[in-house]
């Protein structure tokens, strides 16, 4: 197993800039399957008088492309495009800051628990941007399915939410977003760092890892991240797209979902999430590492 490079200075500022590049890579690679995931999660359940609109991931993909064209898979991308780059920038900044705060001696490698806690800090930081961005994204993705085009786009959606019920409406689902992102972010970064070390030959530095190995580490981290993040993500999608007043809070959403669909309902969209998780997060970490290398070359003392 490889090791961290002794004495390497951690720069939260470089992590912030490289994280922005990582976010852009993640979005373009993963948004189509995110659209499918949200539509599968929020479609009404089957009943004697109502058939489900989508029978699964491929059926949702086929019907979306047939009805809306390939660009239909990128519906609602405006909000995350404005938010995902700064979101990932802040996430990687929080992670870098956490590592810096927890490292008393640069010559001593971080423990797995320190990496996990640093990742959790990144999850806390990102919620400020993630919660409203996810709320707007989900509403735009779902309105195409319902056929009622209430919002013209992400900006119109944000303005109308704010005018109708104020800032609380824009940030609806923040607590659920925290529950989803804080522990999963910790596992996300810890898995990435662990797999990188695992793939690095003994005596070599993880910072010299090849591109295929970075892709494998990033993709694996993305999959494990969503294994624990998906149940709260399902609850979040249902809560954020429900009419005002339908749910009193997280427990109410969970109770209704379990009553109507059972525990399997918490993993709606699992196939779409897993298909998206590997390539999107592989692209994310590859973008981060390449941007960081470029920054280290341009400004080694920054």
Asked whether residue 73 is assigned to any structural domain, the reply reads yes
Confidence band, pLDDT 50/70/90 cuts, at residue 3: low
Percent of the chain with pLDDT over 70: 93
Indicate which CATH number applies to the domain containing 274: 1.50.40.10
Asked whether residue 301 is assigned to any structural domain, the reply reads no
Average pLDDT over residues 61-73: 89
Among the ranges given (2-6, 54-58, 60-64), the one the predictor scored with the smallest mean pLDDT: 2-6
pLDDT in the model for residue 295: 92
Higher-confidence position of 58 and 134: 58
Asked whether residue 302 is assigned to any structural domain, the reply reads no
pLDDT in the model for residue 153: 84
pLDDT in the model for residue 288: 96
Asked whether residue 53 is assigned to any structural domain, the reply reads yes
Asked whether residue 298 is assigned to any structural domain, the reply reads no
Range of the domain at 287: 12-291
Q: What is the pLDDT of residues 249-300, one digit of tens each?
A: 788 989 998 998 898 889 887 887 888 899 999 999 999 999 999 998 888 8
Asked whether residue 224 is assigned to any structural domain, the reply reads yes
Q: Using H for helix, E for strand and C for coil, what is the string for the chain?
A: CCECCCCCCCCHHHHHHHHHHHHHHHHHHHHHHHHHHHHHHHCCCCECCECCCCCCHHHHHHHHHHHHCHHHHHCCCHHHHHHHHHHHHHHHHHHHHHHHHHCCCCCCCCCHHHHHHHHHHHHHHHHHHHHHHHHHHHHHHHHHHHCCCCCCCHHHHHHHHHHHHCHHHHCCCHHHHHHHHHHHHHHHHHHHHHHHHHHCCCCCEHHHCCHHHHHHHHHHHHHHHHHHHHHHHHHHHHHHHCCCCCCCCHHHHHHHHHHHHCHHHHHCCHHHHHHHHHHHHHHHHHHHHHHHHHHHHHCCCC
Average pLDDT over residues 211-239: 93
Asked whether residue 128 is assigned to any structural domain, the reply reads yes
Highest mean pLDDT among 4-8, 134-138, 229-233, 266-270 belongs to: 229-233
Asked whether residue 171 is assigned to any structural domain, the reply reads yes
How many domains is the chain built from?
Answer: 1
Provide the whole-model pTM. Answer: 0.78
Q: What is the pLDDT of residues 103-116, one digit of tens each?
A: 888 788 889 999 99
């Amino acid at each position: 197993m490889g090791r961290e490079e002794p004495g390497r200075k951690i720069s939260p500022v470089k992590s912030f800039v490289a994280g922005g590049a990582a976010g852009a890579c993640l979005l373009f690679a993963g948004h189509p399957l995110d659209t499918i995931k949200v539509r599968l999660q929020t479609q009404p359940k089957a009943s004697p008088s109502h058939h489900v609109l989508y029978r699964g991931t491929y059926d949702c993909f086929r019907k979306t492309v047939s009805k809306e064209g390939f660009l239909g898979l990128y519906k609602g991308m405006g909000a995350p495009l404005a938010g995902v780059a700064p979101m990932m920038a802040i996430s990687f900044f929080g992670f870098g800051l956490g590592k810096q705060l927890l490292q008393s001696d640069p010559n001593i490698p971080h423990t797995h628990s320190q990496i996990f806690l640093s990742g959790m800090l990144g999850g806390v930081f990102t919620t400020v941007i993630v919660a409203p961005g996810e709320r707007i994204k989900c509403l735009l993705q779902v309105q195409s399915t319902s056929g009622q085009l209430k919002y013209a786009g992400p900006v119109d959606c944000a303005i109308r939410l704010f005018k109708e019920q104020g800032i609380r409406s824009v940030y609806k689902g923040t607590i659920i977003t925290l529950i989803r992102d804080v522990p999963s972010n910790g596992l996300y970064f810890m898995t990435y760092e662990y797999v990188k070390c695992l793939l690095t030959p003994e005596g070599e530095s993880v910072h010299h890892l090849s591109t295929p190995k970075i892709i494998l580490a990033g993709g694996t981290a993305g999959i494990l991240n969503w294994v624990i993040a998906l149940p709260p993500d399902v609850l979040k999608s249902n809560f954020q797209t429900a009419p005002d007043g339908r749910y009193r809070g997280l427990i109410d959403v969970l109770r209704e979902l379990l009553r109507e669909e059972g525990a399997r309902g918490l993993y709606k969209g699992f196939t779409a999430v897993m298909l998206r998780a590997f390539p999107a997060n592989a692209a994310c970490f590859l973008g981060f590492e390449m941007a960081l290398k470029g920054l280290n070359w341009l400004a080694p003392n920054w």
